[in-house]
Structure 1
Amino acid sequence: MQFETVKSFLLCVLVGISLLLTFALWSYKPDIERFTEDVVEDSTDLGGTEETMDSLVAPASIIFSNGDNYFGFTDPNDRKSLYEDIQSWSLYDFRTTSSNGPPSETNQVEIVFPDSIPMALAGNLFKVNGDVNFPEWGFERIFITFNQDTNSMNMIFLSENGDQQATAVVNNSEKHERLWEYLTTYEGLSEFSRVETAGRTFYVPSNRVEVSTKSIAVQSINSRHMVDALFTNSDLVSRNRVSENEIYFTDSARGIMRVYPNRRTMEFQNPLETSYEQMDPVELLKQSSANINDHRGWTDDYHLMDLNINGSANTVSYQMYYEGYPIFGNNYSSIIEQQYRAEVLYQYNRPLFDLGNYLGEDDSSELMSGSEVIDHLENSSDYDMEKVYDIKVGYDLTYQSDADAITLDPSWFMDYNGSWQKIDFQDDSQQHREGT
């Protein structure tokens, strides 16, 4: 009897231990990063905004012409403000005709875009009234001319090769007066010089440019967010550290993503997508912007930089801006670039940080004038001016090694033979002049 009692007691103990172990297993939460469905839904939001076509496509410059005198905004934020106002204008009597190049009026406004924009997007960028059949060509420049008798204006979209144009009428005396005032008072404007090369016509500031160096805190974007955004099943993605400055993600099927922590960038490629089909440029822009909107990838101020459709790729690039100036960096530290094949995302390269709090600035300094830059290039044996497509002031991005911050140093940059690069003045201090 005593033996049976002991057995019963041991059985009760074993059952109790079993229940405790079962409860522990059910309630145990391992301290590892898991990609559950709820986490995927949250983590695919990079914390940026959703953008529309009219905010992504913006001009690189707006030039006021008075005969052979040219003026542009001293503060690039004023250019942005005017362009946003122009986008709200009502455009009437849209018509397409042949052209002999830019209009010849003495007083006119020229809006210059960084690349050719499909005319089919005009309805997305501007307030075009009526049913319009947009032509298939693209434009890089819009000209605004004045009708003084009626206080109206003509907005002229000039085709890329200059042999076609689309014209719309702006019947708004208030807008007419605002633009005409710029051409008569030059308030907020600085003198620019017109430069013509074999590549294209562009404008540079005639006088020295005053821009301060900026220090800005940055916040890193968790690479897991991009894993969730780019891979169909994040549970199948393996993570391998190739070196201190490179981490390799792959699902052994759809894609390969390389993350570079030292420069806070990522590069994704879908190696299985080898077929190529040339896309319509409008569809490419719409698909690219929608893809980035899906994970709220516009973490800073980005604008269309390049739209390239050729025999091997459908590529679109967006450049980061700060206070109206473009930012230039290395290895996609200031560029979002996507490439599509057969309407499927093939490559996606971008920064893995967003700009945070403004930390301060150095003493104000002056860059050499655009005229001095042109003289330097024309007298340099290292450059061929016929390969210079554009020149502009921008920020040179560098990382501060001792902090989560970047430095934006104003410098001169040029589009040389289709690729943007910082202009080499040999002694870099030559392009900076001490402020007064």
Structure 2
Amino acid sequence: MMKRMELLKSILLSLLVVLSLLLTWNVWSYQPASEPYDESQTTVENVSIAEERTTADLIQPSRFLVHGEVAVSGTTDENNIATLTSLMQEWNVYNIQQNFSFDEAEFKDIVHGSNRIELMYPADVPFTAYRDIITFENSSLPEDAFDRVVIDLSGQEDAPFTIYFVHYDNRVVYEGRVDATYLENLNNVVVSNAASTFTPYFAHEAGDRIIHLPVERREYIKYLYKMSTIDINLFRRALFQDPDAVTLNQFGAARDQYFDQSSNLMEVDRNHHTLSYVNPSAEMSTVGRSGELFQKSRRFVNEHEGWVDDYHLYELDAMNQQVDYKMHVQGLPVFNDNGAADIYQEWGETRIHQYVRSFLSIQVEFPNEDDTVSLGSGYDAIEAIESIEDYDPEKLQDVTVGYYMTKNSNDNTYTLDPVWYYKYNDSWARVPVIGGGDPVGLE
């Protein structure tokens, strides 16, 4: 009886093994009876307009300051900035933690105190994005953002030095450590010759802010560029699900509208060389993480290789899911009244809601070393700003030199004039001239 039971068990086990093999084969060899998957029905056509960009390409400091024992020196030069950031890319930052133990005076000493390098960013920089620029030992980083990086040079030569990640308006400070082995090279390359190499700066107090500005007048080159325009059909193919089903309405020679059955709309302004794409079906936006917002904004443009010229992250608003990238020339931001120097995005929950950008690209530069502008000092800029009616120093956020881009009337050339700009109550404007007149040079 026992032998018969063992035999039945063996037969049953063998049948189960055979059944298992048959089921596995069916899974492997199964093909659905539906139509083959057509990627073109669910994804936007692969289009290459210009180039892709990395995080390090897009997130750049607008300037950095070297705070010595007495004097402060600074630079906006892109080569000087590249030298410093390339040194930082070799570092390994560890022990990241939030610092809560400071009052207002101590906060300003952390940021603006002596023996420090202060890197200033025009937009909030997420920690998760900065991981692509500098190495962090910590596997998890704060879900937070900063707009300044401060390197403390005041410690002992053989001890790790401190690096601070500061959100200036929110008075939030994180700190980490970097091994002392990198300090000597930093001092030799950047710090030791700062007073003779960089521009002297002074500190101006505006409300609870300290804004550093150049002490002296400076000569800036006035640029003239011939611009080319990107073929609008490339954007039509890149942005619409079915480009062949897009309808075109033309309103004279200057304005075109493209739309499809989903009510997606792309409007082209040929006078100002800008386009605006709106996807009305995008879900309502909610407050999201700044790191996710930056990464999807970068990937979105990378998908159609839509980066032209030199664009840097200039605004990142996680609350409203808005991102703005601005053209830069010689390390300085380019401003244009009609948006021809910006790439702007507004996001829904998972999809782009609005995409507004220039379709210009620099084709030829006409350099003229003799065509320069003597721009007023930081003192001149502050005097002009303070002369504005109803000026409130609490609302002044930043002051910088930028280029004002204007189209010349007779051809497709653009002039870039160096001008003082100020950020006031979250908006950028040209610094006015006392008594009126041309803001260039603040004469």
Is TM > 0.5 for Structure 1 vs Structure 2? yes
Higher mean C-alpha deviation, range 226-235 or range 425-434: 425-434
Aligned to 1:322: 329
Aligned to 1:301: 310
Aligned to 1:175: 186
Aligned to 2:349: 342
Provide the C-alpha distance between the structure 1 equivalents of 2:59 and 2:360, rounded to a whole number of angstroms. 22
Aligned to 2:36: none
| 1:208-236 residue CA offsets vs partner (Å, 9 max, x unmatched) | 12111100111101111111111000111
1:423 aligned residue (419, 423, 431) = 431
Q: Report if aligned partners of 1:152, 1:170 keep a CA contact under 8 Å in 2.
A: yes
Shift of 1:266: 0.5
The 5 Å alignment of 1:203-282 reads 203-282=212-291
Q: Report if aligned partners of 1:75, 1:188 keep a CA contact under 8 Å in 2.
A: no
| 1:1-45 residue CA offsets vs partner (Å, 9 max, x unmatched) | xxxxxxxxxxxxxxxxxxxxxxxxxxxxxxxxxxx99xx967x21
Q: Report if aligned partners of 1:217, 1:405 keep a CA contact under 8 Å in 2.
A: yes
Aligned to 1:410: 418
Q: Report if aligned partners of 1:137, 1:159 keep a CA contact under 8 Å in 2.
A: no
The 5 Å alignment of 1:144-159 reads 144-146=151-153, 147-150=155-158, 153-159=161-167
Work out the number of aligned pairs and report it: 390
Provide the C-alpha distance between the structure 1 equivalents of 2:431 and 2:140, rounded to a whole number of angstroms. 43
Aligned to 1:77: 79
Higher mean C-alpha deviation, range 224-233 or range 356-365: 356-365
Provide the C-alpha distance between the structure 1 equivalents of 2:439 and 2:354, rounded to a whole number of angstroms. 39
Amino acid at match of 2:100: S
Q: Report if aligned partners of 1:215, 1:407 keep a CA contact under 8 Å in 2.
A: yes
| Structure 1 residue runs of 4 or more that deviate by more than 6 Å after TM superposition | none
The 5 Å alignment of 1:69-218 reads 69-73=71-75, 75-100=77-102, 101-104=107-110, 105-128=113-136, 130-146=137-153, 147-150=155-158, 153-160=161-168, 161-171=170-180, 172=182, 173-183=184-194, 186-198=195-207, 200-218=209-227
Amino acid at match of 1:376: A
| 1:360-419 residue CA offsets vs partner (Å, 9 max, x unmatched) | 235222111111110122233263333221111010001122222211111111112111
Provide the C-alpha distance between the structure 2 equivalents of 1:366 and 1:156, rounded to a whole number of angstroms. 36
Q: Report if aligned partners of 2:309, 2:362 keep a CA contact under 8 Å in 1.
A: yes
Provide the C-alpha distance between the structure 1 equivalents of 2:242 and 2:84, rounded to a whole number of angstroms. 45
| 1:228-274 residue CA offsets vs partner (Å, 9 max, x unmatched) | 11100011111111233211111131411111111111011112335
Change in Cα spacing, 1:396 to 1:191, as seen in structure 2 (3 Å) is same
Q: Report if aligned partners of 2:419, 2:439 keep a CA contact under 8 Å in 1.
A: no
Q: Report if aligned partners of 1:271, 1:346 keep a CA contact under 8 Å in 2.
A: yes
* Structure holding more strand per residue: 1
DSSP-derived class of the 1:124 partner: coil
Q: Report if aligned partners of 1:275, 1:341 keep a CA contact under 8 Å in 2.
A: yes
Provide the C-alpha distance between the structure 2 equivalents of 1:339 and 1:74, rounded to a whole number of angstroms. 29
1:383 aligns with 2:371: no
Change in Cα spacing, 1:56 to 1:407, as seen in structure 2 (3 Å) is same
Gaps of 5+ in 2: 1-39
Higher mean C-alpha deviation, range 139-148 or range 207-216: 139-148
| 1:60-99 residue CA offsets vs partner (Å, 9 max, x unmatched) | 1101112452211263432233223323333344444334
DSSP-derived class of the 1:187 partner: helix
Shift of 1:159: 4.1
**TM-score w.r.t. length of structure 2:** 0.82
Amino acid at match of 1:210: E
Q: Report if aligned partners of 2:418, 2:440 keep a CA contact under 8 Å in 1.
A: no
Change in Cα spacing, 1:430 to 1:250, as seen in structure 2 (3 Å) is closer
Amino acid at match of 2:365: Y
Q: Report if aligned partners of 2:63, 2:77 keep a CA contact under 8 Å in 1.
A: no
**TM-score w.r.t. length of structure 1:** 0.83
Change in Cα spacing, 1:210 to 1:241, as seen in structure 2 (3 Å) is same
Higher mean C-alpha deviation, range 234-243 or range 133-142: 133-142
1:292 aligned residue (296, 301, 304) = 301
Change in Cα spacing, 1:368 to 1:164, as seen in structure 2 (3 Å) is closer
Change in Cα spacing, 1:131 to 1:309, as seen in structure 2 (3 Å) is closer
Q: Report if aligned partners of 1:102, 1:158 keep a CA contact under 8 Å in 2.
A: no
Amino acid at match of 2:125: I
DSSP-derived class of the 2:406 partner: strand
Q: Report if aligned partners of 1:245, 1:260 keep a CA contact under 8 Å in 2.
A: yes
